[in-house]
Amino acid sequence: MSNTTDKRLLIVWPQYRTHNRSFFESILEIPEVLLEVIWVRPHRADDLPGLNFLAQCASHVVGAKDIRVGDYTLATLQRLVRLLVPAVLRCDAVLSSTQAPLHSKVAFFTARLLRRKIFLVLQQWEDLPGRGVWGRLYGKIGYAMLRRADRVFVHGQNQAQFALSRGCKAERIAVLPFLSDDLAEGSIPAIEAKKRLGLEGRKVVLYFSRVTPQKGLDLLISAFRIISEQLPGTTLLVCGGADQHFADYGEAYSYAAHCKTQAAGLNVQFMGEVAPADKAIYFSAADVFVHPHANTPLTNEGWGLVINEAASMGIPIVATRKVAAAADLVRHGESGFVLTPGSITELTEKVSWLLCNDEERSQFGQKSREVFESYHRPENIAARLQEAMLG
């Protein structure tokens, strides 16, 4: 039951996803803050918000196909506006996901028109391509929003630097950690995990992500071919595949088939998509985690939540500078390595070094867990949002 001292926060978000569950749960824990959410896309049948969450907040669905301008029909655009205006009038502040999509622009200008605070979560850290005059103007409007928002929340160093480069004032930028599950809570001993997977006595390199050209699995397989010659008792586990929920499914499907052909004759096991309940066993078995994002233009990894998950398990991490999370969750030379994207030579060298040096690999793993614990602070989300609402 609400009272007159309650603050109301409206969140405008693309879609509920399990990887945002901890974020929303942290907001629900803010004392004297009532939550209302407008989802742009319908919920996925395989990724529904829990009944407990829905019971604690007002929730609406716009029903747009996706978040780009062309994904709206006239009816869904009208519904977005019809939902937003009364919701903004009911709230004290609006929080929207980044500045680029249409829903954030509508939320921003509605909040400004109705004199409500507006917060943006910046997930971008490189310029998006603007096609034509309209595309460039659309991008400039987004950057103007960043400069005029009451608070810009970022997940880490790369987004913070990008915000500053676009004219945001430092005092208006605050870090909201991108929370993952702490997989250590469900971990099992590495020996047992490897036994269950039929990998007893083997060193295990883990890739856990969608399989798309920008993720760079082909680069890792090329490096692994060299590593296998040096360390024949090593297995590469590939967890993930082409995801039909993404627009690049066709390209990703062909690329995944190419990677399987490329890996012929190597000890590479393609596990396909792994259910969340089974995720911990693969991380428990891993000696080294690799996120080999390629050097493809304008495709930086917005974050890379698997980096959080690997760090939570105390696994040494090898990633490239294309992965945003690496700047905050990988200490180069201490808990892993952050490499030049596209360099097979660096991938081979660093992964081999970690596999060959058991004592150092153990020390890197301990440091990886320490870095995770320093970053993974759910209480910071509640504190920084509450500060922004009251400030």
Indicate if 200 and 175 belong to the same structural domain: no
The answer to whether residue 292 sits within a structural domain is yes
Q: How many C-beta atoms surround the C-beta of residue 362 within 10 A?
A: 13
The answer to whether residue 231 sits within a structural domain is yes
The answer to whether residue 165 sits within a structural domain is yes
pLDDT tens readout for residues 265-279? 999 999 999 988 899
Indicate if 205 and 58 belong to the same structural domain: no
Share of the chain above pLDDT 90, in %: 78
How many structural domains comprise the chain? Answer: 2
Indicate if 33 and 146 belong to the same structural domain: yes
Mean per-residue pLDDT for 14-38? 90
pLDDT at residue 283 tops 90: yes
Spatial contact of 315 and 291, defined as CB atoms under 8 Å apart:
no
The answer to whether residue 1 sits within a structural domain is no
Indicate if 173 and 199 belong to the same structural domain: no
* Of 112-116, 127-131, 132-136, 335-339, minimum mean pLDDT range: 127-131
Identify the domain containing residue 141 by its residue range: 7-179+377-390
Mean per-residue pLDDT for 102-119? 96
Q: Which of 147, 139, 141 is nearest to 163 (CA)?
A: 147
Mean per-residue pLDDT for 248-268? 93
The answer to whether residue 124 sits within a structural domain is yes
Mean per-residue pLDDT for 190-219? 96
Indicate if 284 and 235 belong to the same structural domain: yes
Indicate if 339 and 310 belong to the same structural domain: yes
pLDDT at residue 5 tops 70: no
Q: How many C-beta atoms surround the C-beta of residue 65 within 10 A?
A: 13
Band (pLDDT 50/70/90 cuts) for residue 164 is very high
The answer to whether residue 55 sits within a structural domain is yes
Indicate if 233 and 369 belong to the same structural domain: yes
Band (pLDDT 50/70/90 cuts) for residue 291 is very high
Spatial contact of 152 and 172, defined as CB atoms under 8 Å apart:
yes
The answer to whether residue 2 sits within a structural domain is no
Indicate if 311 and 192 belong to the same structural domain: yes
Indicate if 381 and 363 belong to the same structural domain: no
The answer to whether residue 268 sits within a structural domain is yes
Sign of the torsion formed by the C-alpha atoms of 48, 299, 145 and 390:
positive
Residue 1 pLDDT: 45
Residue 133 pLDDT: 83
pLDDT tens readout for residues 312-329? 999 999 999 999 999 999
Indicate if 148 and 202 belong to the same structural domain: no
Q: Which residue has the higher pLDDT, 127 or 359?
A: 359
Mean per-residue pLDDT for 293-300? 84
Mean per-residue pLDDT for 184-199? 95
Residue 39: give its domain's CATH number: 3.40.50.2000
Indicate if 296 and 264 belong to the same structural domain: yes
Indicate if 252 and 288 belong to the same structural domain: yes
**Residue 211 CB contacts under 8 Å (≥ 6 apart), including other chains:** 217, 238, 240, 241, 242, 252, 255, 256, 259
Residue 296 pLDDT: 83
